[in-house]
Amino acid sequence: MCLIIYKDIDNPIPDFQLFEEAYTFNSDGFGLMFPHDGRIVHDKTIGNLDMIESIFQAYSSDNLKMAYHLRFGTHGTIDNSNCHPFEILSLEKDGKDLFLMHNGVLAISQWDLSMSDTWHFVNDWLKPILQDNPHLINKKWFCDLIGYTIGYGNKFLLMDGEGNTYIINESAGTRSYLGHWLSNNLYTISHDDPATRQTAAHGRWGSKVGWSDYYDDNLDYYYNNYNYNNTLKDIGETPENGNTQTTDLIESKSIITPITNYLDWEYLQTSDLYQMTRKEILQLTWENPEIVTDWIYDIVWNETGEKHK
């Protein structure tokens, strides 16, 4: 899924290793923005990692608020016009600059298939409202209303030329050990504290689930977090020694990928599914049918415009 990284004025510059890691899944565009003299300075590219690093280095400063975005394209073409941030208000026309970055997938009607879901939400909803009422962005109830409208799985970061920053559904993101806000917690290798990163349980796909970035080197985590008895039962074996049987099962490649426990998931967003295998989706449905049902129900409701009992 996309990733927003927000550096507050008192945070250090992020390690570029985080961008390299995120680029593996999000190579469909890069953008950044920061406030300066009442304006939002922004830059975008659909170039390679070297181009991204050159832009990153050109604007790096300890004394600035900075927001970065790496895109995983789900709607619209892969071009600069769909890179984030998007302009909502401009100083010349509206008396202030206001720009937006988005992580997630919006259930919204799209009349121009070349443009993304974010572009449609900005141009069809936020611009008409805020151009007539720019003060609304400073109202908590309005930001809460946006969050309710887009759903908890979507996150917005808005920034104006004065440096005011509004993060919609902020609690759905996470914080790095250096204090940066990240819109999801899929990217863990470089933003965890180096002293603990190899043994920490992390989130995967941006939702709330235990995960280790070092499964192959940390079988103890596997033993403690996966019910191997059920797996062995499924293939007709009875474990005599848990660790030995589980290791044998991994070495025999009966399980070729780490198994995630989906019982703890509290919500499901569409972008979670884009990076999951068929096997993982099947397991998710079996282990946590309630969130899958809620996800399907929300899609049906968004399509029909009415709720069913």
Q: What is the DSSP string of 147-173?
A: HHHH-TT-EEEEEETT--EEEETGGGS
Tell whether 208 is covered by a domain: no
Q: Are residues 277 and 240 in the same domain?
A: no
Indicate the helix (H) or strand (E) that contains 278.
helix 278-287
Least trusted range by pLDDT, from 46-50, 160-164, 252-256, 263-267? 252-256
Considering the entire predicted model, what is its pTM?
Answer: 0.65
Tell whether 166 is covered by a domain: yes
End position of a domain, from candidates 239, 259, 279? 259
Q: Are residues 15 and 103 in the same domain?
A: yes
Q: Are residues 68 and 170 in the same domain?
A: yes
- Main-chain dihedrals φ then ψ at residue 141, nearest 5 degrees: -65, -35
Tell whether 203 is covered by a domain: no
Residue 71 one-letter amino acid: R
- 263 vs 143: which has the higher pLDDT: 143
Q: What is the DSSP letter of 189?
A: T
CA distance 296 to 293: 5
Q: Are residues 161 and 14 in the same domain?
A: yes
Q: What is the mean pLDDT of the chain?
A: 77
Q: Are residues 77 and 172 in the same domain?
A: yes
Gyration radius (Cα) of the chain, Å: 21
Q: Are residues 146 and 73 in the same domain?
A: yes
Query: In the block, which residue shows the tokens 């250096």?
Result: 178
CA distance 273 to 306: 25
Q: Are residues 36 and 160 in the same domain?
A: yes
pLDDT on residue 305: 58
Closest CA relative to residue 184, chosen from 202, 159, 165: 202
Tell whether 192 is covered by a domain: no
Closest CA relative to residue 70, chosen from 11, 126, 120, 20: 20
For residue 141, what is the domain's CATH number?
A: 3.60.20.10
Q: Are residues 91 and 16 in the same domain?
A: yes
- Torsion of the alpha carbons at 127, 141, 297 and 208, rounded to the nearest 10: 100
CA distance 208 to 267: 8
Tell whether 209 is covered by a domain: no
Give the chain's domain count.
3
- Residue pLDDT, tens place only, 31-65: 999 999 999 999 999 999 999 999 999 999 888 99
Tell whether 199 is covered by a domain: no
Residues near 26 by beta carbon (within 8 Å), at least 6 away in sequence:
1, 2, 3, 70, 71, 72
Tell whether 202 is covered by a domain: no
Residue 8 one-letter amino acid: D
Q: Are residues 25 and 138 in the same domain?
A: yes
pLDDT on residue 241: 40
- Residue pLDDT, tens place only, 175-210: 888 889 999 877 655 455 555 443 333 333 333 323
Q: Are residues 37 and 92 in the same domain?
A: yes
Q: Are residues 96 and 138 in the same domain?
A: yes
Full residue range of the structural domain in which residue 292 is found: 261-309
- Whether residue 85 is preceded by a cis peptide bond, meaning omega within 30 degrees of 0, is yes
Tell whether 196 is covered by a domain: no
